[in-house]
Amino acid sequence: MEAVIGLMLLLLGVSQGVETNCDGRQNGAQCYGALGGTVYVQLMDRASDVHRYQWTKDNKTILDGRKDQILTNLTDQRYFFTPSNGTFRINNLSRNDSGEYQLETYDSEGKNKTRTLHLTIQAPVGSVLLLSECLSEGQMRASCSSEGGDSPQYSWTLDGHTLTHAELLSGNNETNNITLKQHVSGRLLCSVRNQVNNVSREETITDCGFIFINCTLCDGTHISQWVFAANNTLCVEPTTHPTTVSDTTEDRSLLICGVRAAVVVLLLICITAYFAWKKANSNNTEGSAIAPENSVLMVEL
């Protein structure tokens, strides 16, 4: 219950501070107002230029005037008309204020013109929540949501620019859930808007600690994949970009293979020399013990 009350108070605070403007001087104008907020409707340039005017909604007269003189009694405290600039203000908007309005103007000869205006009341967007998490292969999932708000629309930017296909793995700039590729990092911003207000939230994201390795082992195995840097044992010096191969990594791998081959060759030489010596010694001292100097030689070998 306390959470619900807190949310209602938050939305009320947001609504009371939202003001919108609408130009009703064009026939068929589409206007928007924030629930609980204020809308300013420009009905005419100056009331003094109009011989007589009448503004109605659902056949109910809201405003009736002659030049600078207001003939109707605006009993609704939410209404206020300024003849000097032709602006009509409605405070503390409610859902009932939505609908079609008509403005009839008359010249001195009694000829009239009629204009219509449609007003839509929307609940404003509240605070925005931005969440991000690293996936198993280093991608990053980001989700954006808002408290309240009718017909919310989403947009994303990274370091001030719109997200591109090179940065997006799934989703697009108009969805509330996106997945970023492994190498993406920077200032990620999510904006939530509707026709009456716009709220955004920013978060600095990193690359989740994954790097791209691309190398060939001495046995001919080629490795090209994203791995977690702290646990990587596949390449001695992995590359950091999927489209490049590090010459240093390949040289190091070749060096290791060369050292291993040299060790094997040296071992084979030692074994061959040992057996050759043993055979010669057996012929010279057949049936006798090995001389001390020969024992020393074997130890050295």
CB atoms within 10 A of CB 168: 18
Section 275-297 average pLDDT: 58
pLDDT in tens, 113-124: 999 999 999 999
Does position 9 have pLDDT exceeding 50, yes or no?
Answer: no
Question: What amino acid is encoded at 149 in this protein?
Answer: G
Please give the backbone phi and psi of residue 275, each rounded to the nearest 5 degrees, phi first: -70, -35
CB atoms within 10 A of CB 64: 17
Dist. CA 117–CA 77, nearest whole Å = 22
Q: Give yes or no for a contact between 55 and 101, defined as CB atoms under 8 angstroms apart.
A: yes
Q: Give yes or no for a contact between 254 and 246, defined as CB atoms under 8 angstroms apart.
A: no
Q: What is the mean pLDDT of the chain?
A: 81
Tokens of 29: 């104008």
Query: For residue 203, what pLDDT is reported?
Result: 94
pLDDT in tens, 70-82: 888 776 789 999 9
Section 210-238 average pLDDT: 73
Dist. CA 199–CA 222, nearest whole Å = 48
Q: Give yes or no for a contact between 239 and 225, defined as CB atoms under 8 angstroms apart.
A: no
Angle separating helix axes 247-284 and 292-300, nearest 10 degrees: 170
Asked which of 4-8, 25-29, 83-87, 228-232 is least confident by mean pLDDT, the reply is 4-8
Does position 286 have pLDDT exceeding 90, yes or no?
Answer: no
Does position 294 have pLDDT exceeding 70, yes or no?
Answer: no
For the chain, give the number of residues: 301
pLDDT in tens, 192-201: 999 999 999 9
Residues 6+ apart with CB under 8 A from 298: 274, 277, 290
Dist. CA 212–CA 49, nearest whole Å = 72
Secondary structure (3-state) at 40: strand
How wide is the angle at C-alpha 281 spanned by C-alphas 278 and 287, nearest 5°?
110
